[in-house]
Chain A
Amino acid sequence: MNATALNPSLLLWIALLPLLAALIAGLAGRVIGRTGAAAITIAAVTAALVLSCIVFRQVIVLHAPVFDGPVYTWLISDGIRMQVGFLVDSLTVMMMVVVTFVSLCVHVYTIGYMHDDPGYQRFFSYISLFTFAMLMLVMSNNFLQLFFGWEAVGVVSYLLIGFWYTRPTAIFANMKAFLVNRVGDLGFLLGIAGVVYFTGSLQYQDAFGAVDKIAGGSFQIIGGHSWNALTVVCICLFIGAMGKSAQMPLHVWLPDSMEGPTPISALIHAATMVTAGIFMVARMSPLFEGSEAALSFVLVIGATTAFFMGLLGIVQNDIKRVVAYSTLSQLGYMTAALGASGYAAGVYHLMTHAFFKALLFLAAGAVIIAMHHEQDMRKMGGLAKRMPVTAITAWVGALALIGTPFFSGFYSKDALIEAVHHAERWGSGYAHWALLLGVFVTAFYTFRMIFMTFHGQSRMDHHAEEHFHDVGWDMKGPLVALAIPSLLIGLFTVGPWLFGTFFEGAIHVRPDHDVVEAAKEEFHGVVSFALHGLMTLPFWLAAAGVATAWYFVLKNPAAAASWREKFAPLVKLFENKYYFDWFNENVIARLSRGIGNLLWGVGDRGLIDGALVNGSAKLVGVVAGVVRRVQTGFLYSYAFWMVIGLALLLLWALRAVLGGAPLGATP
């Protein structure tokens, strides 16, 4: 194989194989059967993973030049050629491998998890389709295809959240997810339109080349105040990311998305799709670098999400919801890193997070299956003895999540916090403290979950006790497969990837913004980095969080109850999720329906029909007298009157011609 240039058809197959498998499993599910559907989708995703690894090697090891080329022309309008095409650089290949690897783990895990579900083939079809859409998103070299992938993953997410379509909560959650994402997508689309406004192109490279041109422009959006065009474009694009990556206040859909089967919570709502926003901003780094204001916006939104969503994880009792709020919080961490210009740190955390968060979700799923679909942690406890593989892997995931030195999460999170620490833009002080406090919160809710689930006394009821059964290796296998990178990937990659030249060319940072470079000065090898980590504030905050969780869950559960009482108003605020859902349902949704009813009732029926149309109701009555004959047999009375009318009008026209008196007064 030629190592100097990437093969476009190879790239195409990486994306198309999962699509073909999805089509076969979806359309011919009954023909090929359950085993057939599983086999064909798993084979396709495995092939996509292998090919992705080959491409990864070519790009990273053999230094193949960046591939940036078209696949086909979607349309040409107004001289603008809109294409589907691929951009494959280090950022892309990293995403490709992560996506296909996690997807494969989830495919395998699904064999066991969905074993008894009648929608087996449909499920495999959806997750393969998702893999295709996600690959199209990350491999795109233009905004059109990015938006296609962006919306396509959204649709698959919609279908999968509502997979169990008879559940009212599921079909509410999927609609909510789609609509909240659409709010973000509106911003995203406007951002894309802004790029086209200045460049007349949808290609990334043209947009990146026109940064100065965009920065020199302005829009008058409200009143006479003119806004810097680049800031407007970047904030619009970021609003898209806020929807997809669930940043406040567009985060509300993600906790509810847990209504879907657990494998997709791992794949879509933790490891891959929700990180699309992070990926997109990193991909757009040349644009974002040009706008301090937009970056500050990103930074503050990210840090706020990181801290305040983490707090909500503390009061959850549903095991999946704890992991979901953790995901929100971690996405906030990544976003904050982006806002600090630490794109590489954000994306690096994206990668490690994909492994350990998918792991935690799949471990939670294993617990749920073992407990016969019980998700309430208050009814668990002491499971470590009964499902040791799950417990050990969950520990690995948890330790990685809280940033324990030597675990993958440590490297990414520590670097990320350092990057934000070095940032010097508006909001960076607030962000740094929010992220630091967030470390304590993360450790607290994570180990509250671990202790409640796997340790202490069993609180299982008789029913659960009777049906309890540990999961098989089809589910444990993926846990182990994900535990390995959760444990080790940081060790091997942090040096070359984060502090090396891995992202060079893919991510652009202005030298005076380069916080990762600043953090790098404290980096003297992976081991000393980790050892140094043992002496830093984040480590002790995390340790304090674990200790607090241990105290409240295992040592002195009574204290937890009394603390809850002491802070009752705060707990209420958390349990109601800061009232975002209440506001959306009671104000926004109700107001929309109210506006609709008002416009329909008063506008359409009252004013237009009532006053204007039926105002000539008598005329209607007269005509109706004629028309009634339609029913009595004069089928063509309409036609007759039409022809008569036409003839009269023509006669009138003729009269004007013959009379030589043109209408109007032109000589």
Chain B
Amino acid sequence: MNNTLGWPILSVLVWLPIAGGVLVMALGQSRANLARWLALLISVAALVLSLVMYQHFDGATADFQLLERLPWIAPFHADYYLGVDGIAVPLILLTTFMTIPVVIMSWNSVSDRVPQYLAAFLVMEGLMIGVFAAMDALLFYFFWEAMLIPMFLIIGIWGGPRRIYATIKFFLYTFLGSVFMLVALVYMVLKTQDYSIGAFQNLPLTLLEQRWIFLAFLAAFAVKVPMWPVHTWLPDAHVEAPTGGSVILAAIMLKMGGYGLLRFSLPIAPDAAQELSGLVILLSLIAVVYIGFVALVQQDMKKLIAYSSIAHMGFVTLGAVLAWRIVASTGSTAGVAMGLDGAMVQMISHGLISGAMFLCVGVLYDRVHSRQIADYGGVVNTMPIFAAFAVLFAMANSGLPGTSGFVGEFLVILAAFKANFWYAALAGLTLILGAAYTLWMVKRVIFGAVANDKVAELKDVDARELLVLAVLALSVLALGLYPAPLLDTMRGSIEHLTQQILATKLPLP
């Protein structure tokens, strides 16, 4: 078994936060402070573990590494099978990294059922890592569905006034999507008698089969990304979710969709993906342009950032499916891997930036208890330090070079240009639209004279908030100024994925 470490680090990464979550919950509300410190300890430990994982990961090869495999449900040949490649590693790092700010920021903003709140996030962290590390389809599906439970609870218990509506919408969308995916997984299990994702990827399938499988997966992943027109759950979920819920939802949960596209849809059904890539490109461009306009007119900061997320995730889906159009347009495969690289980088970057922006809204919400843009104005006068961070993240959200927000969009636009001038031009509209909705919000919230008494009474960020925002700001800048390590981590896997995408599964005519 290929595990250079000698101990099951991935299992620890998955189960430590889950077990820790249970422990935290057991402390009870009377020991809320202890629960906070313990949760922080566990989330930091998970980050350290994920860095150890990164340290022992070799990005040059496409092989899955740090493997663990145990028989799980013998009659089905389903295994407890974990491993990571260059696509999973960055996403796991993102997960462990982004959980910490959620824990720290809850210090100020959550006082109701604190241990349960923290436990939900820790359990979710473990389950999300499980999604990225699972190499067995049943195990994947288990994590995939289980991860929704803590999120439902977070929105349903700690959410806003319309939380029930939002939760049900979220539930219906994601569950309906997932059902289709389950059918596709079951179908392939029956064909291969094997639950490993690798076996699915190598499974020869007819075009008809691929088409159905691709669409079934798309139903699940498009909801998660989310792609237009199955996106309307996201703004509602974000608006009702507590700050931490929004952060995890935007930073990591949405990435499940992009991950699924890269892990399942493309390698399992490459010919159908080729056939249907036009549809995905169309939906992606609609996400960028249509949603960009919709974001422009939002009055609620969280809704605006939610719509902005949809538009930015459009780059992920666009970059993922450009391959065949590039080959058709240029007769060469150059640019294919760049689109995939761009999709991956965009996911990581969006995780950092959207998380940071939701945290910024949380900082304001904790003080004023409003998310309405109209209730603010001139925040810079009373919170200059906060304003500096908000402007930085806004610029990152607008794709400013030197921040992480630029890297993915740049790579995807370069690749899209190879496929078709108009793909690049329409995607590039985000340069204008993204800046327009983000900076218009900044203008109305941050700049200007002090708008009302509440703004006049604002206190600038405290030490905890400063720490979190500063660390996120540094990561956004670091990834923007020196993205090479991230790209190096993914190189082998992206090259392999490129080959998988471009190799047909159909018998030669």
Contact = CB atoms under 8 A, between A and B. Distances in A.
Interface of A: 72-80, 144, 147-148, 151-152, 155, 158-159, 162, 165-166, 168, 171-172, 175, 178-179, 182-183, 185-186, 189-190, 192-194, 196-197, 200, 219-221, 232, 592-593, 595-597, 599-600, 603-605, 608-609, 612-613, 616, 619-620, 623-624, 627-628, 630, 635-636, 638-639, 642, 645-646, 649, 652-654, 656-657, 662-664, 666
Interface stretch (B61-69, B261-269, B336-344): B336-344
Given A196-B414, A646-B145, A630 B484 contact: no
Interface string B130-169: 0000000000001001101100110011000000110111
B447 A165 contact: yes
A604 B417 CA distance: 29
A189 B172 CA distance: 40
Contact of A189 (B148, B335, B413, B436): B413
A175 B443 contact: yes
Interface stretch (B99-107, B237-245, B359-367, B423-431): B423-431
B411 A185 contact: no
B149 A639 contact: yes
Contacts of B182: 649
Contacts of B448: 165-166, 168, 171
B478 interface: no
A171 B443 contact: yes
Contact of B447 (A162, A616, A646, A653): A162
Contact of A75 (B395, B407, B425): B407
19 contacts: A76-B484, A78-B341, A151-B401, A166-B378, A171-B448, A172-B443, A186-B425, A186-B429, A193-B424, A197-B417, A220-B421, A221-B421, A595-B293, A600-B293, A605-B232, A613-B172, A620-B172, A636-B153, A663-B183
Interface in B88-145: 116, 142, 145
Contacts of A144: 401
A27 B440 CA distance: 26
B348 to A, nearest CB: 13
Given A148-B402, A593-B296, A190 B232 contact: no
Contacts, number: 204
A608 B232 contact: yes
Contacts of A193: 413-414, 416-417, 424
Contacts of B164: 624, 627-628, 630
Contact of B186 (A593, A605, A635, A656): A656
A267 B342 CA distance: 36
A179 B338 contact: no
A182 B432 contact: yes
A232 B179 CA distance: 47
A76 B190 contact: no
A593 B294 CA distance: 8
A78 B336 contact: yes
A143 B21 CA distance: 49
Contacts of B330: 197
B172 A616 contact: yes
B483 interface: yes
B157 A630 contact: yes
Contact of B436 (A72, A74, A179): A179
A152 B401 contact: yes
Interface string B473-509: 0000000011110111001000000000000000000
Contacts of B171: 623, 638
A646 B416 CA distance: 39
Nearest to A81: B484
B402 A666 contact: no
Given A620-B168, A638-B153, A600 B297 contact: yes
Contacts of A609: 232
B36 interface: no
Given A609-B232, A642-B145, A656-B186, A197 B152 contact: no
Nearest to A626: B168
A190 B410 CA distance: 10
A77 B337 contact: yes
A33 B401 CA distance: 31
A612 B173 CA distance: 11
Given A178-B439, A613-B232, A628-B164, A593 B297 contact: yes
A663 B401 CA distance: 50
Nearest to B484: A75
Contacts of B186: 649, 652-653, 656, 663
Given A165-B380, A596-B293, A642-B149, A179 B439 contact: yes
Interface in B176-212: 179, 182-183, 186-187, 189-191, 206, 209
B170 to A, nearest CB: 11
Give the size category of B's interface with A: 35 or more
Interface string B395-414: 10000111000110011011
Contacts of A619: 172
B435 interface: yes
B334 interface: yes
B290 interface: yes
A210 to B, nearest CB: 14
A168 B451 CA distance: 12
B157 A75 contact: no
Contacts of B406: 151
B279 interface: no
Contacts of B401: 144, 147-148, 151-152
Nearest to B428: A186
B429 A627 contact: no
Given A165-B447, A639-B149, A624 B168 contact: yes
Closest 6 CB pairs of A and B: A193-B417, A596-B297, A78-B338, A596-B293, A78-B337, A148-B401
Contacts of B116: 635
Contacts of B191: 662, 666
Given A152-B401, A189-B410, A642-B145, 11 more contacts: A78-B334, A178-B435, A179-B432, A186-B425, A189-B431, A593-B297, A596-B293, A613-B169, A652-B186, A656-B186, A657-B76
A624 B191 CA distance: 38
Given A189-B413, A649-B182, A666 B483 contact: no
A565 to B, nearest CB: 40
Interface in B352-390: 378, 380-381
B418 interface: yes
A166 B424 contact: no
B296 A77 contact: no
A592 B429 contact: no
A635 B209 CA distance: 41
Interface string B262-285: 000000000000000000000000
Interface string B449-465: 10000000000000000
A613 B183 CA distance: 22
B435 A182 contact: yes
Contacts of B189: 653
A666 B429 CA distance: 46
A60 B406 CA distance: 37
Contacts of A190: 413, 417, 421, 424-425, 428
Interface in B279-307: 290, 293-298
Contacts of B491: 76
A75 B487 contact: yes
Given A166-B449, A624-B168, A74 B296 contact: no
Contacts of A649: 179, 182, 186
A165 B294 CA distance: 27
B139 to A, nearest CB: 13
Contacts of B232: 604-605, 608-609, 613
Contacts of B422: 221
B334 A79 contact: yes
Contacts of A151: 400-402, 406
B6 interface: no
B483 A74 contact: yes
A165 B388 CA distance: 13
A72 to B, nearest CB: 8
